[in-house]
Structure 1
Amino acid sequence: METGPPRLDFKLSCHDDETVGDELEQILTDTEAPYFKRIRSASWVELKLLLHLAAPAVIDYLLNNVVSMSTQIFCGHLGNLELAAVSLGNNGIQVFAYGLMLGMGSAVETLCGQAYGANRHEMLGIYLQRSAVLLMATGIPLMMIYIFSKPILILLGEPVNIASAAAVFVFGLIPQIFAYAANFPIQKFLQAQSIIAPSAYISLGALVVHVLLTWLAVFKWNWGLLGAGLVLSLSWWIIVVAQFVYILMSKKCRNTWKGFSVEAFSGLWSFFKLSAASAVMLCLETWYFQILVLIAGLLENAEVALDSLSVCMTINVWVFMISVGFNAAASVRVSNELGAGHPKSASFSVLVVTSCSFIISVIAAIIVLIFRDSISYIFTGGEVVAKAASDLSPFLAVTIILNGVQPVLSGVAVGCGWQAFVAYVNVGCYYLIGVPLGVLLGFTFDLGAKGIWSGMLGGTVLQTLILLWVTWRTDWNKEVEVAKNRLSSWDDRRQPLLQN
């Protein structure tokens, strides 16, 4: 019998995670065994751990993404204008709220994970409520952006007809803002306890309901873009309510959810500072390629450019969700092994998870190139858009490959506590190099969407190389000591989990 909760709640076939972690470290430090035998045995142990971590997370993120993507597909079959409007609404306005809310909600992942590991189970529910309060408050100014999305998009130079149509769709997404505010804290609350599979089942059920309601709203009831937006908002609220009902009913959460408490309104300023810091790195990541869509709206023949980029970006995001699952796995594996004092296991885990994600991304890129001429017909029947999307497919393939490495390295950074460093790297590579270079190539050299994308790829390549170099040069023994010092500094009397 275990005396306390394990760090991971998955039912591993052989041992609990701590035993497996010890086994992995023993294998890697056994210098008497042949080198290749050690690598083979260690790889098998690590791959089993990754499977139980990454697979449910990938499924959950994919299903959540398909909910939004299906709306884009349905609206795309209404016409090119509707597809451009939904693309601009999703990638230009909605993703701003998504990135901010997800970034702020990610603070719950850190705090709840620390509290769960420290056996302070009752604090998980408090952190969940504090985050939800802050995110709901943040949703109010975000709602103003949604309400005035049309003049904002026009001010940014988007065509009036596309901005007008996008504003109608975005208006239907206002309830989704507050669904995000509730969903992300709940999601991280569950992930901290390694409860991932129920969220995946809930997302699958919500997807089925969403597809049916969107089909009725768009094609049978003729509610248009506003109806599509409202259905998308409703679907996210279904996910939120179902997850919260699970928390109330599940025995797994009875020690971490003790009901609503007035403590949720205390310590909000410290919690806000930590949430804001957590949001910076993720927002810089999330918004980067969405800026590509906004800039493309300034090109001549913006409708075709937006439609073709919409097709490519939707496919890219879909594949990116796989990398996000590996990102979560990398963060958990590295932080767990560093906390357990296993430097070789932490280093080996980085190698295995990055290799797995890279191989999958290469396969996805090859599939994109094979079906480059027909892939856009999933979203729209226009031949002009199909040709434009086909021309952009090599850029999409390179992006997919880079996204097979870069998000995983970001997960490693989170596991090591390098968020501030990565934020500086992102600012420099993305916004001081990538975006200006993309604008220069796209407009000054008249390369259009290809030029914009090329410049922004340059920023991603540079950022990935920097993270690879830093990870390669990492002294994992030193990182173990840093982790031990961080843990030893915890003091219950000062609520250290809220300290910056």
Structure 2
Amino acid sequence: MSSNTGNLDTAALLSGVNNHHDQEEGSSRWWKNVLDLEEAKNQAFFALPMILTNVFYYSITLVSIMFAGHLGELELAGATLANSWATVTGFAFMTGLSGALETLCGQGFGAKLYRMLGIYLQASCILSCFFAFIISILWFFTEPILIFLQQDAQISKSAAMYIKYLIPGLFAYGFVQNILRFLQTQSIVMPLKFEQTWEGLSFESFRFIITNLKLALPSAAMVCLEYWAFELLVLLAGLMPNSEVTTSLIAMCVNTESIAYMITYGLSAAASTRVSNELGAGHPTRAKNAMAVTLKLSILLALAVALALAFGHDIWAGFFSNSPLIIKKFASVTPLLLISITIDSFQGILSGVARGSGWQHLAVWANLGTFYFIGMPIAGFLGFKFKLYTKGLWIGLICGLSSQAGALLFIALFRKWTKIELSNENDKESRVSV
């Protein structure tokens, strides 16, 4: 394995970063005190393919909603509600399940336990297939469930018809997310070369299902709690007066926020990979430096996205609807949307750090408390009691996102940075110097 291992190591993300950190800086230029340029450059090269991957994938759903919006307000509301329900009950959960690989494969790669990456991938795919089958049964009963949740009967019927055709995509989505994490943690974002981490199918993967599940379920809960908060806004909008307009408007905001997050998610993936690889290699200080660099890059990227939306919100809204009323109302909510996009970008990096470090169990409690005991109560209170409607709902979301970012930052600053022991005793943590 020695010669191949050397080749594999040179393909790792930021392979030259280790040498960079071991050498003293020869220059005292002021910007090097603000941003580690070498780390930033390499993270940017890693993040760009991830950004394109996520944007192209999300565009599939986004384009279908845009076409539905030009068919009519009922079709837009139905497609939006269906995608919200699919995200709440399926896609978010499948994304979360794959998050276990960010810890296991990321730290395994850093520790040079290459063979185990393929085993973890197979175990995760088995779990994804099982849960996709359970979720697909639930989707067949979408219409009565939505009606039970007090959604409009016509919109519920349209949503149920839409979601039934999404069922095959749920299984594919689970496999894609697992393979994406498998490649991401090896820093393979362009060349598809991973001979030493994939040795073919093996029954050994069944031995590691429980190990995977211990991280997969908290990871799924972590992701779902965040996704559900966004989609809960769509359900609350359906309970407001003039629900078709309100639901369409909130859905446009949610989809805009999501596409912006998909852009910054490339940096979140870079943070997760860098942190997990460095912790696996026993270098917590370098992992912390990688987090700091990614946070700075995320703020710059979020500001660029926010500026583009600030000057082009009417054009963007026109992709979703021809209604002058909806376009006008979207313009009034845009300032709040810009704030939430910036905060969401910041917390996205911290969530990536949590996944890479194996802190999913802590992030679950942070997301639960900040969204459902702070953000959503404020959203409901402002939206219904003060009759701020769409603006009230989004202000509540901003409060939740701000609290979440603060909680995750607190964890990152005060939690001892350790690596997961990836030997035969997989659920133990080995102490690594902070």
TM-score normalized by structure 2? 0.90
Cα–Cα, structure 1 residues 121 and 73, in superposed 2: closer, same or farther, change >3 Å? same
1:463 aligns with 2:384: no
Any conservation in 2 of the 1:92–1:293 contact (CA below 8 Å)? no
Aligned-partner residue type, residue 183 of structure 2: L
Deviations 1:205-232 (A, max 9, x none): xxxxxxxxxxxxxxxxxxxxxxxxxxxx
**Matching residue within 26, 41, 46 for 2:39:** 46
Aligned-partner residue type, residue 302 of structure 2: S
1:394 is matched with 335
Distance (Å, rounded) in 1 between the aligned partners of 2:291 and 2:218: 24
Shifted more, 278-287 versus 143-152: the winner is: 278-287
Mapping 1:25-424, distance limit 5 Å: 25-27=22-24, 34=28, 36=30, 38-39=32-33, 43-197=36-190, 252-340=193-281, 342=283, 344-424=285-365
Cα–Cα, structure 1 residues 439 and 344, in superposed 2: closer, same or farther, change >3 Å? same
**Matching residue within 382, 388, 392 for 1:441:** 382
Aligned-partner residue type, residue 194 of structure 1: S
Aligned-partner residue type, residue 279 of structure 1: A
Distance (Å, rounded) in 2 between the aligned partners of 1:272 and 1:122: 19
1:313 CA displacement = 1.7
Distance (Å, rounded) in 1 between the aligned partners of 2:125 and 2:165: 22
Cα–Cα, structure 1 residues 110 and 346, in superposed 2: closer, same or farther, change >3 Å? closer
Aligned-partner residue type, residue 387 of structure 2: D
Any conservation in 2 of the 1:7–1:117 contact (CA below 8 Å)? no
Deviations 1:312-343 (A, max 9, x none): 22221111012211111112223334445555
Any conservation in 2 of the 1:328–1:411 contact (CA below 8 Å)? yes
Cα–Cα, structure 1 residues 144 and 8, in superposed 2: closer, same or farther, change >3 Å? farther
Cα–Cα, structure 1 residues 490 and 94, in superposed 2: closer, same or farther, change >3 Å? closer
Cα–Cα, structure 1 residues 135 and 2, in superposed 2: closer, same or farther, change >3 Å? closer
Deviations 1:29-62 (A, max 9, x none): x8xx64737537x622112221222111111111
Segments of structure 1 that go 5 or more residues without pairing to the other structure are 11-15, 199-249
Deviations 1:258-312 (A, max 9, x none): 3333333344344333321221212222222111111111111111011112222
1:192 CA displacement = 2.6
Any conservation in 1 of the 2:87–2:227 contact (CA below 8 Å)? no
Q: Secondary structure of the equivalent of 1:132?
A: helix
Deviations 1:104-147 (A, max 9, x none): 11212322233334444333333222221211111122112211
Q: Secondary structure of the equivalent of 1:373?
A: helix
Deviations 1:469-498 (A, max 9, x none): 444x448xx53xx34xx5xx553xx2x346
1:187 CA displacement = 1.7
Distance (Å, rounded) in 1 between the aligned partners of 2:111 and 2:294: 26
Q: Percent identity?
A: 35
Distance (Å, rounded) in 2 between the aligned partners of 1:113 and 1:368: 34
RMSD of Structure 2 on Structure 1 (CA): 2.5
1:439 CA displacement = 0.9
Aligned-partner residue type, residue 340 of structure 2: T
Cα–Cα, structure 1 residues 402 and 127, in superposed 2: closer, same or farther, change >3 Å? same
1:20 is matched with 17
Any conservation in 1 of the 2:100–2:355 contact (CA below 8 Å)? no
Cα–Cα, structure 1 residues 447 and 8, in superposed 2: closer, same or farther, change >3 Å? farther
Deviations 1:348-388 (A, max 9, x none): 33222111111121222222222233421111211121122
Shifted more, 89-98 versus 132-141: the winner is: 89-98
1:77 CA displacement = 1.3
Any conservation in 2 of the 1:436–1:455 contact (CA below 8 Å)? yes
Q: Secondary structure of the equivalent of 1:177?
A: helix
Aligned-partner residue type, residue 9 of structure 1: A
Aligned-partner residue type, residue 79 of structure 1: G
Distance (Å, rounded) in 2 between the aligned partners of 1:467 and 1:109: 17
Shifted more, 444-453 versus 160-169: the winner is: 444-453
Q: Secondary structure of the equivalent of 2:294?
A: helix
1:345 CA displacement = 3.7
Distance (Å, rounded) in 2 between the aligned partners of 1:34 and 1:257: 44
Distance (Å, rounded) in 1 between the aligned partners of 2:174 and 2:289: 36
Cα–Cα, structure 1 residues 83 and 25, in superposed 2: closer, same or farther, change >3 Å? farther
Mapping 1:474-493, distance limit 5 Å: 474=414, 479=417, 482-483=418-419, 486=420, 489-491=421-423
Any conservation in 2 of the 1:24–1:45 contact (CA below 8 Å)? no
Any conservation in 2 of the 1:271–1:498 contact (CA below 8 Å)? no
Cα–Cα, structure 1 residues 91 and 268, in superposed 2: closer, same or farther, change >3 Å? same
TM-score normalized by structure 1? 0.79
Aligned-partner residue type, residue 336 of structure 1: N
Aligned-partner residue type, residue 122 of structure 2: Q
Distance (Å, rounded) in 2 between the aligned partners of 1:349 and 1:195: 18
Deviations 1:179-219 (A, max 9, x none): 12222222222223222236xxxxxxxxxxxxxxxxxxxxx
Distance (Å, rounded) in 1 between the aligned partners of 2:203 and 2:216: 20
